[in-house]
Amino acid sequence: MSRYGEQTASEFFFEVWNEPNDSFFQGSQEEYWHLYREAANAIKAASPKLQVGGPATCCVDCWITDFVDMCQATKTPFDFVSSHDYSSCGMDGLGDVSKVVTGARGARADLTKATGQADFRWLITEFGANCGQGIGAPGQGLPSAYHDMIDQSSYTFAVVGGLAGAGEPAALSYWAVSDVFEESFFPVHNESFHGMFGLINLHGIPKPTYRAYQLLHETGNESLTVTGPPPPPPIGGTCEEPQDGIDVWGGDVGTLVEGVGSSAECCQLCVDFAPPKYLHECMTYTWWKNEKRCGLKDWSKRVNSTANPNRISANVTRPPKKPATPIDLCSANTGVMAVRNGSEFLDILMWNHAAQVDPICDCMVDVLLPQTVSAAALSASTVRRIDEEHANPLATWLKMGAPDYTTEAQNQEILAASELQTESLAAVGSIVAGGFNMLVPAHGVAVVRILAN
C-alpha cells in the first residue's frame, strides 16, 4: 500500500495462489485452506478495505462449495470467489462454447447455494478456448496457432453472449494480456504468431481477440432483450441396457448434474441433452449411485472405462443424423446481442462461431429493430468487423511468407492490418424495412452502431 495508497489498493482483487488443485500447488486441499486462511487474515490485518479471495481453481466449478464452507466454518474472510474456465487443453473440444458456458452456469449455481446469494461476487480470472500454448501448429492442420486466429474473437463474443444476464461473472479475464510470457516455452523462431496466450504478440500487435475485447469495452452499458429463431429440436434417442459397476471416464459434454435420483433419470437427461450448440449431443451417461450425480458424455471422446461398484453407465442409441443444412448451421452458430449506451447509441453485436470439429458456413444475419429506430438512423449506421478480411494480422503475416523474424516495416504493416475499420452499414449490408441484414463470415464478428435519432 505504500506505493499505491490504501484507497487504490482496495480496488485490487488479491487472489491467493494459482490453481491449487493442479501441479502449481504440491499440497493437499487442506494445506491450501491453511495457506488461504493465513494469507487472507494477513491481508485484512494490513487493511480491512483490501479484497481477498480464491480458490482460483483450474476448472470453473471445482472446490467452490468446499471453499465457501471452509471460510464460513472458520470465519475466514473472502470478498469474492474465483476460478478458471477453458474449453480444452488440447485439440479435443477446441473452441467449444457450450463447455465453458455450461461449466460456468454450474459454478454459479454452486456458489449461490453455498453463499445463499445469487449475486455473490464471482470472478473468472483465466478464460480462453485453450489452456495450452502452441495449439494448432501447421502440422495439426491449422494455418498457424489457434490463439492468434480470428476464431478466438467469435469464441469470445459467443461466450459473453452465453453468460450475459443474471448471475454473470463480474470478470471474464482472458489469459493472458501479452505474449511476453513464459510458462512452457518461449520462441526462438517465428516470433510473430506461434500460439502463445497473449492478446498482443511479442511486437505489440493486437490479435483478433484483443479487438473483440475492444469492441465489447467500447459498447454501451444496458443489455437489451433479443429474441432469436427457435433452436432446432434435440435429437432423441433410446437408452441401452445399463451396465452396473462400470464407470466411463472423460468425454464430458456438460457439467455433472447433482440430485439425480436414478439411473433412468440420468439416462433421460442424456436423451434430452440440448446445449446451446445442438451439434453436440450426449451418447453415454454415468450415474453415481451414492452421490446421486449424473455425468453426460460423448462415447467417442471417452478416456477409458473402469470397474466401480458405485457407478452405472449406459450408451444412448440415436437415429442417424441428417446432413446439416446451411439454415441448421446458421441457427446453431450465430448469435446477436443488443447493448444500448443511454440515449447516445445502440450496438448490435453479431457472431458466427463453431468449435474446430464442427461444420460452419458463412451466414446472412437478419436483424429486426424496434420501430423507434428510424430509417435515417439506420442509413447513418456504421459497422466494424473481425473476420478473415478484417482486423486479421495473422493473414497479413502469412501473405509475407510467415517470416520468422519480421522487420520494423513489416511489423508496421501487420499492425495496420490489425486495426478495426469503420465502414458504412449501407455499404456492407442491406437496410430493409424495420431493420437490416448482413453477411457474417465463418468465425467472424461484426458490431453495428446505430446513433440515436
Q: What is the pLDDT of residues 338-382, one digit of tens each?
A: 999 998 999 999 999 999 878 899 999 999 998 888 889 999 999
pLDDT score recorded for residue 139: 46
Q: What is the pLDDT of residues 180-226, one digit of tens each?
A: 987 777 777 788 998 889 999 999 999 999 999 999 999 999 999 99
* CA-wise closest residue to 91 among 141, 125, 19: 141
Could you say which residues of the chain have pLDDT below 50? 138-139, 141-143, 276-278
pLDDT score recorded for residue 338: 97
Q: Rounded to whole angstroms, how far apart are CA atoms 126 and 174?
A: 6
DSSP string, 176-243: -SBS---SS---SS--S-S--S-SB-TTSPBPHHHHHHHHHHTS-SEEEP---PPPPPPP--EE---E
Residues 6+ apart with CB under 8 A from 214: 206, 420
pLDDT score recorded for residue 277: 47
Q: Quote the cell numbers at residue 333.
A: 452458430
Q: Rounded to whole angstroms, how far apart are CA atoms 159 and 145?
A: 20
pLDDT score recorded for residue 102: 85
pLDDT score recorded for residue 232: 64
How many other C-beta atoms can be found within 10 angstroms of the C-beta atom of residue 449? 21
Residues 6+ apart with CB under 8 A from 239: 264, 267, 268, 270, 271, 314, 315, 316, 317
User: Is the link from the previous residue into 229 a cis peptide, with omega within 30 of 0?
Assistant: no
pLDDT score recorded for residue 274: 61
The domains found in the chain, sorted by start residue, are: 6-224 (3.20.20.80), 238-317 (3.50.4.10), 326-451 (2.60.40.1500)
